[in-house]
Structure formats: C-alpha cells, structure tokens
C-alpha cells in the first residue's frame, strides 16, 4: 500500500490497517522461524507499510496532514 492510499483514509481506518499489518508481520515472523516462509520479501514490504502507517498517524496527530505537498 502506498502513502497516497494511506493518507486518504480516516484516522480510525488507519489504526485498523496498522493493527492488521502488525498481525501480518507477526504471522510472517512465525512462518520464518518455522522455516515455512518462502516469499521473504513480503516481510520487508509489511515492515515498511507499518512505518508508513505510523508516520501518517503521527502527522495527523500533529496537524501535518499535507506534509511534503507544496
């Protein structure tokens, strides 16, 4: 999911998305630990999506909704 898609979501939807991403990350980490993870690149993508979601949530809290848009 890219940043534009996340920015268009409401704060409640963003927090729900973040929760889902964290659950996905946990499942992927468990699969990697068990040797069942075949698509290792997915873990990196999920980790970056989590960072994007957290950044956008923080920007909304600080009132920086249009950060980077000039």
Asked if the structure places residue 67 within a domain, the reply is no
Tokens 């979601």 belong to residue = 53
Cα 57 to the chain's mean position, in Å? 10
Among 50, 10, 9, smallest CA distance to 29 is for: 50
Asked if the structure places residue 47 within a domain, the reply is yes
pLDDT, tens digit, 9 for 90 and up, residues 3-43: 889 989 999 999 999 999 999 999 999 999 999 999 999 99
Give the total number of structural domains in the chain: 1
Q: Any idea what the CATH number is for the domain that residue 16 is in?
A: 1.10.287
Asked if the structure places residue 54 within a domain, the reply is yes
**Band of pLDDT at residue 65, cut at 50, 70 and 90:** confident
Query: How many residues comprise the chain?
Result: 70
pTM of the model: 0.85
Phi, psi of 9 (to 5 degrees): -85, 155
* Boundaries of domain holding 14: 7-61
Asked if the structure places residue 56 within a domain, the reply is yes
| Cα separations in angstroms, 57 against 24, 31, 35, 40 | 19, 28, 34, 27
**What is the structure's pLDDT at 66?**
66
Asked if the structure places residue 1 within a domain, the reply is no
Asked if the structure places residue 52 within a domain, the reply is yes
Asked if 54 and 15 count as a contact pair (C-beta separation under 8 A), the reply is no
């Amino acid at each position: 999911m890219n940043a534009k898609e996340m920015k268009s979501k409401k704060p409640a939807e963003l927090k729900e998305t973040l929760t889902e991403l964290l659950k996905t990350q946990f499942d992927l980490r468990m699969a990697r630990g068990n040797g069942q993870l075949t698509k290792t690149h997915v873990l990196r993508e999920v980790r970056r999506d989590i960072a994007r979601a957290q950044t956008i949530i923080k920007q909304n809290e600080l009132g920086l909704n249009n950060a980077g848009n000039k």
